[in-house]
Structure 1
Amino acid sequence: MTDLLASTRAELLRLRKWPAFWIVLGTWILLNLTFAYLFNYLAYTTGDSSRMSDGQPREVLLQLMLPSAVPEVFTQGMAMFGGALMLVLGALAVGSGYGWGSWKTVLTQGPSRAAAIGGVVISLALTVIALVAVAFVIDTGVAALIASTEGQPLTLPAVSRILLGILTGSVILGMWTLAGAVIGAIARSPALAVGLGLVWVLVVENLLRGVAGIFSPIKTLTDYMPGTAAGSLAGSLRTTGGPATPGVLDVLTRTESLIVLAAYIAAFAAGTVLLIRRRDMV
């Protein structure tokens, strides 16, 4: 346990000192604010909602920008775009150790392999939870500013709704982060891992879901893919009508989505640990 805690602290320090870490997290926060609030607010204030918000009424746009809608709004982009960025982070965090040769140093001179690899997994999990919490606070602040500007009540969502939103975001982004980590361990290369992961998230799953519409035997498979489960969990929070968000689905129920994503998280974490622990670093 002491080695695990020391490895986790060391990995958190490495991530904090790594520019790529802050670039990925900052990019997600910026994209989240841009698509969730900036475009909708421009469409609302200009009255031109035909392009930026798929023709949604101004009343719907305003409801989506109020504090009470934050739990559902800030999770909508996580299923695809946020997930893709966090997959990149996981792939870089694990795959870079092979490119730099740091895994050889850590695993030959540091603590046990299990502790060293466990520290990476735990540090990524803590990063995801912190990112989701920060995104929620920032979105709430922006929503409160918009509500004050437009003379709307500053009604916060219920505590249960807040916790559900944070849990949903943590599970979705956590699954994609660990998916990147296991791909990094398989590929042993950050560049290859990032490329393979992005192709899967942005291309392969969408193509398979499209094929499932005309070839029913693979529909069962596509219904339980990582992207489908993540999109269904994000979609389960929707209560206000609004523009369709890429990657947000309603294929699985919330319970089914949580179970599937929990299974993927466990499999990806275990796969990362086993691959690095049992394979030669040469």
Structure 2
Amino acid sequence: MGSVMDTVMGSVMGTVKAELLRLWKWPATWVLTGVWLVMTLTFGYVFNYLALSGGTNTRDLSQQQLIGSMQPENAGAAVVRGLPMFGGAIVLVLAALAVGSGYGWGTWKTTLTAGPRRVSAMAGTLGALAVVVVVLVALTFVVDLGAAIAVASLEDWGWSLPGWSAVEAVGASLLIAAMWTAFGVFLGVATRGPALAVGLGLMWAVVAENLLRGVGSLLGPVESLTGVLPGGSAGNLAGAVGGSGAPGVLNDLSGTTAALFLLGYVVFFAGAATLLKVRRDLV
């Protein structure tokens, strides 16, 4: 029994290392990472700083709100507020491309013919994407914290390093990113290609749920439903840990309830993708 488990774990770890190497050398990984970092800096700090320095149309944002959003102690909130919609869409695209491209290039067929079993291969792919998500969230936090310290030092504000609230925000960011990753993996396996998976994922993350929220303002049952959908659950968790003030962030559910829904989605999407991979032909 022990030798069988050692063999399975060795197969999974080998797949994780191979997938990490592929993702490391894949230009799409770096392009999407760069796009996300530019977006979080631009919308989280550049625009707010310009509005604070000389903007004439800040609308409902007071100076204190702008300053608070750029304080180093709120760097965790800056990370999580972008993930329910735009950041989540980027993570979903990366996962869908990583899995779906294996069908288009024929690498899944070659790998599974000569290498590990399907469950081991899928576990290795999910493990590699999990590592990428952790690194991406950590990198985003470091970049946002560096930008916040730079702004606070430039403006000579009194500031302090992030505390426990930042830990909660980063943990929520990891869970939200994990859900979008699992969703992208599921779409990549379900459609057996990158293009359709990316299109469906973007349509759902950016368009469909927003349209449902608009309809929900007229129909109560639809409004209740949108709060527990993938994007709605992500938005509610972001709102619960201080990520308010960005598109897609909600305050309809408690943080615990939203986190449980997200965990359920992670298990469902990852499990459904693995089941499809095991039970279905590759072609």
Band of TM-score, shorter chain: over 0.9
Contact 2:84-2:176 at 8 Å conserved across structures: yes
- Aligned position for 1:263: 264
Contact 1:80-1:247 at 8 Å conserved across structures: yes
Taking the aligned partners of 1:56 and 1:217, their CA distance within structure 2 comes to 32
Taking the aligned partners of 2:249 and 2:166, their CA distance within structure 1 comes to 19
- Matched residue type, 1:259: L
Deviation >4 Å, runs of 4+: none
Taking the aligned partners of 2:34 and 2:169, their CA distance within structure 1 comes to 20
Taking the aligned partners of 1:215 and 1:153, their CA distance within structure 2 comes to 47
Contact 1:49-1:58 at 8 Å conserved across structures: no
1:21-170 matches, within 5 Å, as 21-46=29-54, 48-50=55-57, 53-158=58-163, 160-170=164-174
- Aligned position for 1:173: 177
The one of 222, 240, 248 equivalent to 1:236 is 240
Amino-acid identity (%): 45
Deviation at 1:55, TM superposition (A): 4.0
- Aligned position for 1:12: 20
Taking the aligned partners of 1:106 and 1:157, their CA distance within structure 2 comes to 44
1:46-73 C-alpha deviation (Å, 9 max, x unpaired) = 1x151xx444122221121110111112
Unpaired runs of at least 5, structure 1 = none
Taking the aligned partners of 1:189 and 1:67, their CA distance within structure 2 comes to 41
Contact 2:48-2:66 at 8 Å conserved across structures: yes
TM-score, normalising length from structure 1?
0.94
TM-score, normalising length from structure 2?
0.94
- Aligned position for 1:182: 186
Deviation at 1:45, TM superposition (A): 1.1
- Matched residue type, 2:231: G
The one of 193, 206, 209 equivalent to 1:205 is 209
Deviation at 1:163, TM superposition (A): 1.7
Taking the aligned partners of 1:178 and 1:124, their CA distance within structure 2 comes to 9
Taking the aligned partners of 1:209 and 1:43, their CA distance within structure 2 comes to 29
Contact 1:49-1:57 at 8 Å conserved across structures: no
Tell me how large the CA RMSD over aligned residues is.
Answer: 1.3
Deviation at 1:206, TM superposition (A): 1.1
1:185-238 C-alpha deviation (Å, 9 max, x unpaired) = 111110000001111111111111221222223333222100100001111122
